[in-house]
Amino acid sequence: QPIYLADYTPPAYLIDGVELDFQLHPTATRVISRIRFTPNAAATSKDFFLHGEGLTLIRASVDGRDITPELVDGGLKADVPDAPFLWEAEVEISPEANTALEGLYMSNGMYCTQCEAEGFRRITYYPDRPDVMAPFKVRIDGDELVMLSNGNPVASGDGWAEWDDPWPKPAYLFALVAGNLVARDDSFTTMSGKEVDLKLWVRPGDEGKTAFGMQALKDSMKWDEEVYGREYDLDIFQIVAVSDFNMGAMENKGLNIFNTSAVLASPETSTDANFERIEAIIAHEYFHNWTGNRITCRDWFQLSLKEGLTVFRDQQFSGDMRSEAVCRINDVSALRGRQFREDNGPLAHQVQPDSFVEINNFYTATIYEKGAELIRMMKVLVGDDAYDKALELYFERHDGEAATIEDWVKVFEDSTGRDLTQFRRWYKQAGTPRVAVSEDWTDGTYTLTFKQSTPPTPGQDEKLPQHIPLAVGLLGPNGDEVQPTQILEMTEAEQSFTFEGLAAKPVPSILRHFSAPVILERDSTAQERAFLLAHDTDPFNKWEAGRTLAKDVLVALITEEDAPLDDYLNAIAVMLRDDSLDPAFRALTLGLPSQDDLAQTLFDAGVTPDPMKIYRAQQTLWQAMAEHLQDLLPRLMAEMEVTEPFQPNAEQAGKRALGLGLMNLLNRLDGGAAAQTLYDRADNMTLRLGALGYLLQAQKGDTALSAFRRQFEDDELVMDKWFSMQVYHAAPEDAVDVTDKLTKDTAFNWKNPNRFRAVFGALMTNPAGFHNASGDGYKLFADWLIKLDPVNPQIAARMSSAFETWRRYDVDRQAMMKAQIERVLATEGLSRDSQEMLGRILNG
């Protein structure tokens, strides 16, 4: 059943052009396709096969002669001429019955599509593989007010519309939207002076939430011209917001489709974090126009070619729009929280996998975020100018092609003359490398010795040394930088680097800016960590020093050893008082490592993590911080007040973040009093939601919760927050009951992915609740996976990764989780998606 990269063969037929006619109907949409095929000279086979799933074939013809194709598993076969020919077919599909949200489906009465990765085969018979690219012409007939597809508008009239996309594209980039929609209109003049119409389509009533998204789009278009020299290539660019969507958004050519949560924003309904995420996703999808659409992937094993690169580009963009240091810290935290977790468990896989069962299961943190880290490392290794040159060559050489990761690496080799043979291992070797550091100071020579090793991952026992760029700087005893950042290239399993001419033994700052996705193992004293938190010139490592110190304290509290509590509290107090530091940075440094992060850390150190002890250690440390900092809190909180009208920019967001971070501490001293005041006067969602969370934590949230619901009950996205907050802030012993109760709420529309995630995603961010010793959390979650799987297998499979850490825990919890995984696996008719995921989780 798995598909192997090694089995790739070129398509037997290529396509010169496609015409599609849609006659829309909720339960009986007709799709007529006319496809001009040509035998592929490079092919090894002449077999004519078209993918198709869940289609009712009405008729088919070749060059005008009706034929009866052979219907086979997953598609059809037919006898066709060994020369160019015209294929025509008519199929019927039911968008309304499509709950999997893949192919053509309905969301709130509106037609929309999701074709990546293999959804187009649910729309019509087609070679649904990314290396078959073609220009599309689309006609839509229907009663809908607005009817959209890719490319440029050709003509439209009462009940019909025609679209023409001249750029050859694979079927996964096809899109169609039809319904009662209204647009925010704008325009953008490209660097060569071409005027592009911009439209952001939403349901009537949501117009007030479109301004920010439109600005983000224009900023992205400008940025891609300035930084990558990439210009937009159609007369129009459109975004549509859809309520029911499996992912964040989709880069369909000229017609991006977005989850409402990834595009709609207003100060009253969105938090600063929402604004930031929306800006990044709009940029991401727009940047795909060049890295993904103009240059696409040969096959799905190359997925990271477009996703890793596009994530890297959106990270660069966010860094330019906001604070680079703060963005980097957030990106690394997300990487560690999701990708390291994946890479260190049963779901670990290569950035370029060798095989998969269901491609939808590979839209992972490894393909996306680790993939982006690999590109970041290449840029560090070759340098900024060489990176720009390599990208020029990439666009020049591969524009219009379906390319491979190998093509990408080759471009870097050809344009820089560097040999990246060893670097390629990063794409083929799963698992997070550990880099252990030791130091030596003898006769004025300072030596750093690194040892790298990568633990075994499923199917990969032996690992070879990686090519690791280590950004290192040295600080003198007074805190001045005696050696600015230098890139040490590690290629051996063990390697030493020496520094001469130092007056005194320095303090090393290693892996600055997180120059490689590795786990750095360095035993160091609390004093040294505090020293780096105070003096490091690299903002990432300055934050990292605080984080490691906090981790040392928490781990010691959990294992009941001596905790360097005073060192931590004093260092944090100094850091908080430092007005020269960006409030956003201070807010991040005030945060503690997550419960999941601590569980993994303990597990790696040979200690079985107890979720309750981890939870209590966090609470203990926050209480200690609150008491230690109590004199500072009122003054600092007052300084963080924003008096100007709300702006979702980095500066204001940073102040709000620090203000709320401090309120987390104050809340432990005043039992919710300040949170209540803030809740009552908050005029934006960031502060309102922050205050609500603290009220819930102080067990004083009931009144605010009902008021919140009354105020926002018609706003789906805000109601998602109402659901999440209650689960996230529930006490560990209540979390499962709260979750269960919420699933019985009339507003728990579980078929909507955002609502399902709001509840169960939140349960996973409350590990002490999910993992409570009764095992009720596991059982409740498994019940819901079984219920969701037949309706939306993609979401069920994705969410099942909540069980991926089951082997970390004690034997009782392991047994309980294993039993639930097996119960789901034993469900009759379980989807291929969930079977693959749970099978890997169980056996990996």
Binding site for Zn ion (CB under 5 A): 307, 310
- Of the CA atoms within 13 Å of residue 680, those in its CB half-sphere come to 7
Q: How does DSSP assign 344-377, residue by residue?
A: TSTT---SS-SEES-GGGG-SHIIIIIHHHHHHH
Q: One of 118, 285, 544, 716 is an active-site residue; which one?
A: 285
Q: Among residues 128, 131, 285, 544, which is the contact residue for ligand ARG, using CB under 6 A?
A: 285
Q: Among residues 89, 249, 555, 837, which is the contact residue for ligand ARG, using CB under 6 A?
A: 249
**Residue 60 falls in which region: left (phi positive, over 0), alpha (psi -120 to 50) or beta:** beta
Q: How far apart are CA 761 and CA 772, in angstroms?
A: 16
CB of 288 to Zn ion, least distance (A): 6
Residue among 311 and 657 whose Cβ is closer to ligand ARG: 311
Say whether residue 250 binds ligand ARG (CB under 6 A): yes
Q: Among residues 162, 165, 251, 833, which is the contact residue for ligand ARG, using CB under 6 A?
A: 251
Residue among 313 and 813 whose Cβ is closer to Zn ion: 313
Give whole-number Cα distances, 554 to 86, 332, 764, in Å. Answer: 68, 20, 20
Residue among 307 and 552 whose Cβ is closer to Zn ion: 307
Residues 6+ apart with CB under 8 A from 642: 652, 655, 656
Q: Among residues 116, 131, 331, 373, which is the contact residue for ligand ARG, using CB under 6 A?
A: 116
- The one segment of 41-49, 247-255, 377-385, 571-579 that binds ligand ARG by CB under 6 A: 247-255
Residue among 115 and 327 whose Cβ is closer to ligand ARG: 115
Residue 822 annotated among the catalytic residues of the structure: no
- The one segment of 137-145, 221-229, 242-250, 756-764 that binds ligand ARG by CB under 6 A: 242-250
Q: Is 647:215 a contact under the CB 8 Å cutoff?
A: no
Residue among 331 and 596 whose Cβ is closer to ligand ARG: 331
CB of 134 to Zn ion, least distance (A): 22
247 touches which of Zn ion, ligand ARG, none (CB within 5 to 8 A by kind)?
A: ligand ARG
Q: What are phi and psi of 494, to 5 degrees?
A: -135, 135
- Of the CA atoms within 13 Å of residue 741, those in its CB half-sphere come to 10
With the CA atoms of 546, 551, 553 and 555 taken in that order, what torsion angle do they form, in degrees rounded to the nearest 10? -170
Number of H helices, E strands in the chain: 29, 31
At residue 157, what is the residue type?
G
CB of 33 to ligand ARG, least distance (A): 22
End-to-end distance of the chain based on CA atoms, in angstroms?
A: 18
Say whether residue 622 binds ligand ARG (CB under 6 A): no
Q: What are phi and psi of 522, to 5 degrees?
A: -145, 115
363 touches which of ligand ARG, Zn ion, none (CB within 5 to 8 A by kind)?
A: ligand ARG
Q: How far apart are CA 523 and CA 509, in angstroms?
A: 13
User: Which of 108, 375, 143, 136 is closest to 260 using CA atoms?
Assistant: 108
CB of 114 to ligand ARG, least distance (A): 6
Q: How far apart are CA 444 and CA 719, in angstroms?
A: 63
Residue among 181 and 305 whose Cβ is closer to Zn ion: 305
The helix/strand/coil state of 733 is coil
CB of 303 to ligand ARG, least distance (A): 9
At residue 218, what is the residue type?
K
Say whether residue 278 binds ligand ARG (CB under 6 A): no
Q: Among residues 363, 603, 646, 750, which is the contact residue for ligand ARG, using CB under 6 A?
A: 363
Q: How far apart are CA 479 and CA 204, in angstroms?
A: 58
User: How is residue 369 written in tokens?
Assistant: 């975020």
Q: Among residues 131, 272, 307, 343, which is the contact residue for ligand ARG, using CB under 6 A?
A: 307
Q: Among residues 117, 147, 239, 280, which is the contact residue for ligand ARG, using CB under 6 A?
A: 117
- Which residue's Cβ has the minimum distance to ligand ARG? 363
Residue among 206 and 369 whose Cβ is closer to ligand ARG: 369
Q: Among residues 360, 589, 595, 618, which is the contact residue for ligand ARG, using CB under 6 A?
A: 360
547 touches which of Zn ion, ligand ARG, none (CB within 5 to 8 A by kind)?
A: none
Q: How many residues bind ligand ARG (CB under 6 A)?
A: 12
User: Which of 627, 694, 685 is closest to 661 using CA atoms?
Assistant: 694
Q: How far apart are CA 546 and CA 607, in angstroms?
A: 23
CB of 246 to ligand ARG, least distance (A): 6
116 touches which of ligand ARG, Zn ion, none (CB within 5 to 8 A by kind)?
A: ligand ARG
Residue among 98 and 310 whose Cβ is closer to Zn ion: 310
The helix/strand/coil state of 130 is coil
Catalytic residue positions, numbered: 285
Sites of contact with ligand ARG (CB under 6 A):
116-117, 246-247, 249-251, 284-285, 307, 360, 363
